[in-house]
Amino acid sequence: MSRWLPDRPARGLALGIAADGCALRDDARGGGARHQAWPKPWARLSATEVVATLDALAGAGAPRGRACRLALAEDLVRYWIVEPPAGTRSLAELRAVALARGARLFGDASGKDAGLPGWRVEAAWDAARPFLASAVPAAIADGVEAWARRERVDLGAAGLATPLLHLLPRLRPAASDAAWLCVTWPECTQLILLRQRRVAVLRVLRPGPAAPLASRLADAAEELRREQLRGGPTDGLPAFWVNRDASLESKDLGPTLSVDGGAVTLTRLGALAGLPSLDDEAPASLAMRYARLAALEG
């Protein structure tokens, strides 16, 4: 089973990991939330520095022996679709194909380094159909897991689960077998095409600073409109949206949003999927926003 599949540790303790640092939230014991910045840009961190930062974050209140839900910021994750060649039979072959594809998209353009050094790659491996692969920074993954082992913190079977891969199983039953999903996160917007309840396309839109939710959804709808104009097989599919950022105000938005005279309509999906609601609390730190998401999803 992939380490990215959903798991449900006990409520109360939540850890957010983002580009601006890490945050720990302890709602069950009323401990509030704390944030600790990384000592250097995340791409240059070592596992040892990640452990030291988590130690500074926990301080004297280290959550030894407790279960903890963890959320890794979507901006730290790389996703891509892998199409297995005909005749692929082994996991080793699938991994080689996935690494080669990931390296072309995100790796060393010079070709000096094979694969994706510095990244940990996982996927819903499938030799018969296209599948979604993901990569997270290896130093952050190794450091978080080393800290959790030492402190006996139970991260659950999912380990460093990404919020998207927690979210998808809850959205699929509410959406149709073939549909577009628009998901707004604190730092990005994802457009996802589901076919037979599997991810067939995943695109990431980068909003401008402080872009309101209505603007981000309008940009996503415009992208879907361009897809329709291309006349591809995705034309006419239903499209849904769900907001996963408490800092984006959504109360004034109706259940649907249309652009270009109704050519594209996005239907709000959150209530249908049984997702926990996001209240008005909106921590400024990106890591604290993800710690809040982890607490909600726990």
Q: How many CB atoms lie within 10 A of CB 102?
A: 22
Q: What is the Cα gyration radius of the chain?
A: 19
258 backbone dihedrals φ, ψ, rounded to 5°: -120, 150
How confident is the model over 92-113, as a mean pLDDT? Answer: 78
Q: Give the length of the chain.
A: 298
**Alpha carbons 131 and 127: distance in angstroms, whole number:** 9
Least confident stretch, 84-88, 142-146, 253-257, 276-280: 276-280
Unique residue bearing structure tokens 């396309």: 201
Q: What is the mean pLDDT of residues 252-259?
A: 70
pLDDT at 93 over 60: yes
Per-residue pLDDT for 1 more than 50?
no
Answer left, alpha or beta for residue 274, where phi above 0 means left and psi between -120 and 50 means alpha. left
Report the range of poorest mean pLDDT among 12-16, 41-45, 95-99, 187-191.
12-16
Q: What is the mean pLDDT of residues 192-220?
A: 85
What is the reported pLDDT for 5? 34
Lowest mean pLDDT, pick from 7-11, 103-107, 139-143, 291-295: 7-11
What's this model's pTM, rounded to 2 decimal places? 0.83
pLDDT (0 to 100) of residue 235 = 62
| HEC string for the chain | CCCCCCCCCCCCEEEEEECCEEEEEECCCCCEEEEECCCCCHHHCCHHHHHHHHHHHHHHHCCCCCECEEEECHHHCEEEEECCCCCCCCHHHHHHHHHHHHHHHHCCCCCCCCCCCCEEEEECCCCCCCEEEEEEEHHHHHHHHHHHHHHCCECCCCCCCCHHHHHHHHHCCCCCCEEEEEEECCCCEEEEEEECCEEEEEEEECCCCCCCHHHHHHHHHHHHHHHHHCCCCCCCCCEEEEECCCCCCCCCCCCEEEECCCCEEEEECCCCCCCCCCCCCCCCCHHHHHHHHHHHHC
